[in-house]
Structure 1
């Protein structure tokens, strides 16, 4: 059994021991109250005769009232189990599921993605090129376990979207929500605009962690849409230990839809001189970037899997302890037990409320209290014994036989009817 405490074990003891002691004491008290001399079980409070060791068993109504005042041994036993389950849940018990050697990559991976409007060109098996970019980013993450990842995107300018982090899911989320630049706001872009920012990030990483290797992956279509020459990535090459340039697109080109910044809005196809405008990959420009970084260039298509280089051997090794433990967590079993016990408590409380309401309706009046009248508000009282039913009060009002009027009569105390 392995424990992975949520709280410090001493704090768990401070929380659980008092509650467990209180529940255990109430269990013992309830058990002693149910078993009396003579071996009989009482339904609640019992009265023993002074000259007898036998127990008087309460009447059914008295037993129900007694049960309403407190829980029996069974309920308190369940509450003891509930406290124990809560304490064990805080300790997170588990069973060892075996050991395996874990590979760790002490590498910093910087991903540079082209987000210009041409990246929505539909020549990735009929889908936008950006779909291929997202698939390849996931492959990069799977290929380098334990690495730190950073994300740079560029269109008219470069932007650091994600600093170096070991949270690979953050990179996936950032890439999934990438939206290419708005078509109507596009003024052209350079495929090398991210070079200065990339050199800066790699330089800082090398200074802070010189023992880690650094890899760069550039993902784009190579289209230069400004008149100036693209910036060079040569300055960053001194801190690059590996990576690759991945090119997207075809020589035939793919049609592009207008982008509005809304991921759910599929705009119309962009037209030029009455025909659909096509975006064509520039592989020569992409090969030039690969040469500047000192990495290989790969043309990507939807029908093959990207081949990525291995991480530098000096930064890829097994963990120092050689193994990593896999634990089968048992917390879900304890959570299920707690839920069941709480449901029983709620059901019992509901039954007690209903029972106490019934007792309140059927409760007898205390001795000496006046009985309530046996007639309703609309029926006259019965005549007392020995008094004629025709005898009325000294002053009476009656309705004539036709219901048209009333007559009133007064008699003295000794008058005749």
Structure 2
């Protein structure tokens, strides 16, 4: 059901002040007319006073921008599609990452913060979310619902130690190809941007496949490095554990992945070379997160300037200004005032 409201185009502060000034002028016009008429010092007619008062009041209401609020499932979105691919291997639980401050946090927490900044940087874009460990999985198909992507990031769980078979950076390639290709076919004129967030560690014995096959579908891309080159000990991850808050990423502290060669806790180090190589393969940019580096400013220059209308399941409200009837009334009053002034001027000649 449609509703009526005021939604000042100048904002409630400026719009309210201006409307208040116009209302005061309307009252001042009436008071001045009454005072002068009583003193016999004015030839202003009652019709002229009413006309001028109405002009002030109509203008005051117009400044407040009367609007109609109606529910809608249509939404205009920017023709930019962002694919987010986040590493969820066990090494992402290492607490050696920093994101915009000197506080040490887990790599997966830094990745979560990075995802939030990406969705803020593309407020009207569409997003697809992929996690990868032993394989790549499309968790969220392309959607303009940015909060759904933020919720996905907040609930990401790391790959448990029991199923881990070593990190392989090419694990998401197949899913990335399928996702990027389907987006390109559905929206051939869209700008597609990839953000791949990982520590860059490759522990698998297999040779990493190249990401260059993605270039035909991407307009731009970023590889995001989380962690440090000094590295840290890798916590043992239990099945289904969300490592969002603990330092170790497991329910029991001081349980670490052991190096089979030394019997000591293994150390995971961020591999910048791998991430830089992948960035080159997709003709993209490498960004290392750190004390002063976040993704707030890492926005692609290839963002589309085109828009399209889509239907969404979620119902939202649309506010439509309805000023034109008042504009007609004000125009008629001004025409009346001009006509009266011309007639009076000709009489005085």
Q: In the alignment, what sits opposite 1:95? A: 6
| Cα distance in 2, alignment partners of residues 194 and 115 from structure 1 | 11
> Does 2:295 correspond to 1:295?
no
Q: In the alignment, what sits opposite 2:236? A: 258
| Cα distance in 2, alignment partners of residues 155 and 318 from structure 1 | 35
| Cα distance in 2, alignment partners of residues 248 and 180 from structure 1 | 15
For residue 312 of structure 1, the aligned residue among 302, 324, 331 is 302
* 8 Å CA contact retained: 2:181, 2:217: yes
Structure-2-length-normalised TM-score: 0.62
For residue 269 of structure 1, the aligned residue among 255, 268, 277 is 255
1:200 shift after superposition: 1.5
| Cα distance in 2, alignment partners of residues 205 and 126 from structure 1 | 37
1:269 shift after superposition: 3.4
1:319 shift after superposition: 9.0
| Cα distance in 2, alignment partners of residues 115 and 99 from structure 1 | 47
1:190 shift after superposition: 0.9
Greater shift after overlay, 261-270 or 132-141? 261-270
| Cα distance in 2, alignment partners of residues 240 and 147 from structure 1 | 15
Structure-1-length-normalised TM-score: 0.52
* 8 Å CA contact retained: 2:84, 2:195: yes
For residue 170 of structure 1, the aligned residue among 134, 141, 148 is 148
**Greater Rg by CA:** 1
Q: Which runs of 5+ in 1 are unaligned?
A: 6-90, 329-417
For residue 142 of structure 1, the aligned residue among 120, 136, 140 is 120
Q: In the alignment, what sits opposite 2:86? A: 113
Q: Which has the higher contact order (CA 8 A, sep 6+)?
A: 2
1:205 shift after superposition: 1.0
| Cα distance in 1, alignment partners of residues 301 and 251 from structure 2 | 39
* 8 Å CA contact retained: 1:99, 1:325: no
1:243 shift after superposition: 2.5
For residue 176 of structure 2, the aligned residue among 186, 198, 208 is 198
1:196 shift after superposition: 1.7
| Cα distance in 1, alignment partners of residues 202 and 143 from structure 2 | 31
| Cα distance in 2, alignment partners of residues 118 and 242 from structure 1 | 27
Structure 2 vs 1, CA of residues 141 and 241 (structure 1 numbering), >3 Å: closer, same or farther?
same
Once the two structures are superposed, what CA deviation does each residue of 1:163-197 show, in whole Å capped at 9, x if it has no partner? 00000011011111101111132111310111121
Q: In the alignment, what sits opposite 2:275? A: 286
1:109 shift after superposition: 0.5
1:113 shift after superposition: 0.7
SS in 1 for 2:95: coil
* 8 Å CA contact retained: 1:237, 1:293: yes
* 8 Å CA contact retained: 1:123, 1:255: no
SS in 1 for 2:162: helix
* 8 Å CA contact retained: 2:79, 2:307: no
SS in 2 for 1:184: coil
Structure 2 vs 1, CA of residues 104 and 231 (structure 1 numbering), >3 Å: closer, same or farther?
same
TM-align CA RMSD: 2.7
* 8 Å CA contact retained: 1:121, 1:279: yes
| Cα distance in 1, alignment partners of residues 135 and 300 from structure 2 | 31
Would you say how many aligned residue pairs link Structure 1 and Structure 2? 234
Q: Which runs of 5+ in 2 are unaligned?
A: 12-75, 98-102, 244-249, 310-316, 322-349
| Cα distance in 1, alignment partners of residues 308 and 189 from structure 2 | 16
> Does 2:204 correspond to 1:229?
no
